Chains A and B, each alone.
Chain A
């Protein structure tokens, strides 16, 4: 389903933007995953209009980026967050520029509802991630969310197993070591990276709260893109006796976006509805221009 709105606006010099099309909040067991492909946003007048939504601090950060492409991507990232969150205010049109953000005590960004003019407080969580060629934003309600995206073709400069031995768990290294084809091994390494990053970002307590070598993420047999998390903890002095604590509290989905990127989504499952599946709804967007529904996936 494609909704193309006012695309002819891009041709005029000074554009007046249409209202943002409102969105229904995700349900409790749903994640909305939005993404922008920067290459698809070419209109300088549209980009200029986007920049008007940014706070002075955000504008400074965009200006600090070295190079036009990095500046554009930084601008699009803030635009994606602001316009997406604004659209979930369904009962009135709100200005994406009036959203205020703050950081939790570990530095994770959140909406500062107290200071947003005209916004209704919503139990909404968001997280963003971007690469050179894709910017993604995940939205959930009631449960924190972590998103990480990586280019599938991203080259690792170090030896993959050496890198894994340094940062991942023994189980993960053993898994990677069974993959003989270097390309396939590199891809699995990247997938694991996105999953682990997504978890740390969902936790929202900074990297030191969950060093990568303290938890193992492994694929769930019989699922496509389903993963589970096991914490490793050393309770005895003997490093060979590690107890692994696997619980279903954290849910993962790994998917591919635009044929070019891996995207990992991690949310917390309050398990109120035991065993009920979780869903990810993926949509590509150009703010104020168009949305495209890409997929609806179920993960367990």
Chain B
């Protein structure tokens, strides 16, 4: 099951990268903006921290490609949206499970359902990997 409407069922935070690039140009006001007006949300924290390493993005792409049975000539980038690739909610959950196994992390259901691009998945993974004590 997938549809234009269900893929946008989760409420999306406003586009953050634009705001961050504006903030970075004014280093003095950065602190007050990030802890003042904005809600401290997991998603915000992910966007402020460095974007995921290219290797992570590649590993996520491989898992997505396999789960969605994409042909070799479907180019995947960090910006690729799961819904645009034909993923429905069951696919998204399977992708998350595969990522959990690959990276030895545990993703909360709310986070799992809100991942919509390869970049978001990679960012979430690196955030969780950082938190997991070294095995």
Contact = CB atoms under 8 A, between A and B. Distances in A.
A66 B3 contact: no
Residue among A65, A105, A106 having the largest count of chain B Cβ atoms under 10 Å? A65
Given A66-B84, A211-B110, A129 B3 contact: yes
B58 interface: no
Contacts of A193: 90
Interface stretch (B5-13, B43-51, B125-133): B5-13
A156 interface: yes
Interface size class of B (residues with CB under 8 A): 20 to 34
A207 B109 contact: yes
Interface residues of A, number: 44
Nearest to B80: A66
A112 interface: no
A107 B1 contact: no
Interface of A is mostly: mixed
B1 A132 contact: no
A158 B86 contact: no
B2 to A, nearest CB: 6
B113 interface: yes
A167 B11 contact: no
Contacts of A291: none
Interface of A: 58, 61, 64-67, 70, 74, 77-78, 81, 103, 105-109, 127-132, 135, 148-150, 154, 156-158, 163, 166-167, 193-194, 197, 201, 206-208, 211-213
24 contacts: A64-B84, A66-B84, A70-B86, A74-B4, A77-B4, A108-B5, A109-B8, A129-B3, A129-B6, A131-B88, A149-B1, A157-B94, A157-B98, A158-B97, A166-B97, A197-B1, A201-B9, A206-B9, A206-B11, A207-B9, A207-B10, A207-B113, A211-B110, A213-B109
